[in-house]
Chains A and B, each alone.
Chain A
Amino acid sequence: MPSCLAGAIDCDIHPAVPGIAALLPYLEEHWREQVVTRGVDDLASISYPANAPLTCRPDWRPERGKPGSDLDRVRREALDGFGSSLAIANCLYGVQLLFSEDLAAAFARAVNDWMAREWLDREPRLRASIVVPIQNTEMAVEEIERCAPDRRFVQVLLLVMGDRPLGKRQYWPIYAAAERHGLPIGIHAGSAYHNPPTPVGWPSYYTEDYVAQAQAFQTQLTSLVCEGVFTRFPALKVVLLESGFTWLPAHLWRLTKFWRGLRIEVPWVDRAPSDIVRENVRLTLQPVDAPPDRDTLLRILDHMQSDELLLFSTDYPHWQFDGDAALPEGLPESLVRRILIDNPRATYARLTEDAA
């Protein structure tokens, strides 16, 4: 265990549903029967192809079963391995891909209950995000209301690519509920694949799909800012998960420039987008899309103009780095402390509560 990381709060790890059968005990009878009778396949998204190198670090890949599906391994590799005091479980089961709102709501309930019973009850260092049926706003709000009393749920989880841009007013009841309960909105890489993953259609290669996540995060930030989400919900925190962060400065330069020229169209955006983002938006550390040299990374961090933006993450079990090199080398000590502990605690109000 690297001592420099001791006590870190890991804001993005991925415990996995081992298979659809594991959720059967958590599905209501009607849906359990549907799954069995109709032979519903495992909801495994192509966002992380099972055997792709990025999906699991070689030394974390189990001989059988899905990476991240075994609690003992997660304890050993993700928690003990880095000395993390807490880790936030973002379950990437493909609930958001479903076309049926009812089925999505049923699976969201099952995943959240499974998470509470099989993971949170058994490992006190774990916290989790609430999976919601984003296909239907009312149902998503219901699920937030149902889970929020369990203080171990610390965030609402969305995917970066769904049916419509996330700033759209149809989603605002979700943000109202999240703000009311002190839950940040976590937006994770991944798509419902209801739209092509790029603005110019479907690519040929998985490499393009993964790179395209960063462009999707950029457009979602644009949408959240321009629609006025942070004007209406000033206390809301949005956390971009597995988004990369080195694209942020250039994106804010462009968005802020266009806001100066086009604010007549969005008069409710009453501050520069760069200021809004620095106040309301956070990003997890991994992947660090930067060259290995220390100087370039320090320049990028300077361009971000805030040391409050980054939250520590390992992205376990995804293969973003080797060994225990979860933190890029050469970061100033004061920034390291913020990334590892202070920024996560400031972002997730519920992490500072006694969960017992």
Chain B
Amino acid sequence: MTHQIRPASAPAQPAASRLAIADCDIHPARRSDAEFDPWLAPAWREHLQTYGARYRQGWQTGPAFPKAQPNASRRDAWPPDGGRPGSSLGFMQEQHLDPNRVALGILNPLGTGQGLQNVALSAALCHATNEWQIANWTSRDARLRASVVVPYEDAATSAAEIARRAGHPAFAQVLLLSRTAAPLGSRRYWPIYQAAAEAGLPVAIHAFGYGGNPISGAGWPSFYIEEMTSHAQTCQAGLVSLIVEGVLARLPRLRIVIVEGGFAWAPALGWRLDRAWRRLRSETPHLDRLPSEYIRSQVWFTTQPMEEPEPRAHLLDTIAWIGWDRLLFATDYPHWDYDDPAQAFPLPATASQLRGLFLDNARAVYGHA
């Protein structure tokens, strides 16, 4: 080890003067795979033991590109009583939820089995993940809300899982990953959006996942930094598809939340879409207004990783173009690129803008009192 590791920082002091916040991207982890056992049939446990999970990438364990930190996590986020970062509710409360005054925390479990080659296994694991979120998380901390994790490559099964969770107060949204096997607006996924709209749940699209396609239109890059950066391009492609294929037009009450994909790209994407659509609208008669208007009315963005221009004030223009009411604060706890709520937004803004960004926008999207 050639890098000096700073001593793990003490838990931040409770900041009574700080605003209560919503954290719209928290990653709970399981201490070991056995935590899913209560909800997984013995045959699937046997299958996993024998053949492994098999994502649409080549490694038996670990991500496609080696990450920057073990488990892509903050070095101080490993629970003192063992287990992976994010696997101890007690330590999460002590390190993050309490000192940062998190009033509403949205759980986005990753690496659970979404997008597996075997869609039946994916369905079983997603179902177990949802039960696990209730049993281990939301029932133990009233500030937390779960995501309906769905095996999105099998839309019918996903829709059934959403319908099963509809009306359950623990669930705040449906969770998809951005790297799907086909563009998000493709008809194969429509039952998911229909079910989410009927359940009144927003659909969150979190960066990452393995869809099997190269992560750029020009093939596979070399580096993790390229993969990380390209999540913004993948989220743009997914959003373009949702709009142009007509998902948002057909389901005007459907709300989309882009999670950890960046947000500063949204205005330029909207302008490009509008220009292209004005020229080519004969191709998409199912769209009845400018593409950017669908973004403005049906899409929200979580803030982490916050773009950081120099000078930072440039970001104020960008936020004004997107709309202050469209941004949802998120930390990405416990990952290495965590945004600290005390430091992540050093910009002049009005009290109501800040209150919206840090809390009220999330409460509105998620129907949280």
Residue positions of A touching B, CB distance < 8 A:
52-54, 160-168, 191, 194-208, 210-212, 214-216, 218-220, 222-223, 226-227, 244, 246-247, 249-251, 253-259, 261-266, 274, 287, 289-291, 296, 299-300, 302-303, 319
Contacts of B310 in A (CB 8 A): 274
Q: Nearest chain-B residue to A204 (Cβ)?
A: B245
Q: Nearest chain-A residue to B222 (Cβ)?
A: A227
Whether the Cβ atoms of B336 and A261 lie closer than 8 Å is: yes
Whether the Cβ atoms of A168 and B240 lie closer than 8 Å is: no
14 interchain pairs (CB within 8 A)?
A53-B282, A165-B222, A195-B216, A195-B218, A198-B183, A201-B180, A208-B245, A212-B240, A219-B221, A249-B314, A250-B265, A254-B264, A257-B308, A291-B271
Whether the Cβ atoms of B219 and A206 lie closer than 8 Å is: no
Given A195-B217, A208-B244; A54-B280 close (CB under 8 Å) = yes
A222 to B262, CA, bound (A): 15
Number of A-B contacts defined by CB within 8 Å: 244
Residue positions of B touching A, CB distance < 8 A:
3, 68, 178-186, 211, 213-226, 228-230, 232-234, 236-238, 240-241, 244-245, 262, 264-265, 267-269, 271-277, 279-280, 282-284, 305, 307-310, 314-315, 317-318, 321, 336-337
Given A52-B280, A218-B233; A246-B221 close (CB under 8 Å) = no
> How far, in Å, is B50 (CB) from chain A's closest CB?
30
A115 to B220, CA, bound (A): 33
Whether the Cβ atoms of A165 and B218 lie closer than 8 Å is: yes
Taking a contact as CB atoms closer than 8 A, the residue among A54, A208, A216, A299 that contacts B218 in the complex is: A216
Given A254-B262, A319-B279; A246-B271 close (CB under 8 Å) = yes
Contacts of B230 in A (CB 8 A): 199, 218-219, 222
Whether the Cβ atoms of A266 and B269 lie closer than 8 Å is: no
A319 to B332, CA, bound (A): 43
> How far, in Å, is B27 (CB) from chain A's closest CB?
17
Contacts of A222 in B (CB 8 A): 221, 225-226, 229-230
Given A210-B276, A247-B272, A257-B305; A262-B283 close (CB under 8 Å) = no
> How far, in Å, is A212 (CB) from chain B's closest CB?
6
Whether the Cβ atoms of A251 and B232 lie closer than 8 Å is: yes
Taking a contact as CB atoms closer than 8 A, the residue among A162, A204, A262, A287 that contacts B186 in the complex is: A204
Whether the Cβ atoms of A250 and B262 lie closer than 8 Å is: yes
Taking a contact as CB atoms closer than 8 A, the residue among B229, B234, B284 that contacts A200 in the complex is: B234
Whether the Cβ atoms of A216 and B216 lie closer than 8 Å is: yes
Contacts of B305 in A (CB 8 A): 254, 257-258
Given A200-B183, A215-B236, A303-B317; A223-B225 close (CB under 8 Å) = no
Whether the Cβ atoms of B276 and A165 lie closer than 8 Å is: no
Contacts of A162 in B (CB 8 A): 218-219
Contacts of A247 in B (CB 8 A): 265, 268-269, 272
A163 to B211, CA, bound (A): 18
A266 to B225, CA, bound (A): 8
Whether the Cβ atoms of B271 and A200 lie closer than 8 Å is: no
A289 to B245, CA, bound (A): 21
Taking a contact as CB atoms closer than 8 A, the residue among B225, B234, B240 that contacts A226 in the complex is: B225
Given A200-B234, A203-B183, A208-B244; A289-B268 close (CB under 8 Å) = yes
A169 to B219, CA, bound (A): 14
Contacts of B68 in A (CB 8 A): 261-262, 264-265
Taking a contact as CB atoms closer than 8 A, the residue among B3, B181, B219, B308 that contacts A201 in the complex is: B181
Given A199-B216, A208-B183; A258-B225 close (CB under 8 Å) = yes
> How far, in Å, is B329 (CB) from chain A's closest CB?
17
Taking a contact as CB atoms closer than 8 A, the residue among A53, A195, A200 that contacts B180 in the complex is: A200
Whether the Cβ atoms of A199 and B283 lie closer than 8 Å is: no
Contacts of A161 in B (CB 8 A): 216-218
Given A247-B265, A253-B309; A53-B280 close (CB under 8 Å) = yes
Contacts of B178 in A (CB 8 A): 200
Given A204-B186, A226-B225; A215-B314 close (CB under 8 Å) = no
A299 to B185, CA, bound (A): 32
Given A253-B307, A265-B224; A211-B337 close (CB under 8 Å) = no
Given A227-B222, A258-B228; A250-B240 close (CB under 8 Å) = no
Given A210-B280, A251-B232; A200-B219 close (CB under 8 Å) = no
Q: Nearest chain-A residue to B281 (Cβ)?
A: A207
Contacts of B220 in A (CB 8 A): 164-165
A291 to B309, CA, bound (A): 21
> How far, in Å, is B31 (CB) from chain A's closest CB?
27
Contacts of A291 in B (CB 8 A): 271, 274
A248 to B233, CA, bound (A): 12
Contacts of A246 in B (CB 8 A): 267-268, 271-272
A48 to B332, CA, bound (A): 41
Contacts of A53 in B (CB 8 A): 279-280, 282
Q: Nearest chain-A residue to B178 (Cβ)?
A: A200
Whether the Cβ atoms of A200 and B182 lie closer than 8 Å is: yes
Taking A164-B219, A165-B220 as known contacts, 11 extra A-B pairs with beta carbons closer than 8 A to each other, sorted by chain A number, are A198-B217, A198-B237, A207-B276, A208-B240, A215-B233, A216-B217, A244-B268, A244-B272, A247-B268, A250-B267, A253-B264
A37 to B63, CA, bound (A): 50
> How far, in Å, is A261 (CB) from chain B's closest CB?
6
Q: Nearest chain-A residue to B262 (Cβ)?
A: A254
Contacts of B213 in A (CB 8 A): 195-196, 198-201
> How far, in Å, is A321 (CB) from chain B's closest CB?
10
Whether the Cβ atoms of B179 and A199 lie closer than 8 Å is: yes
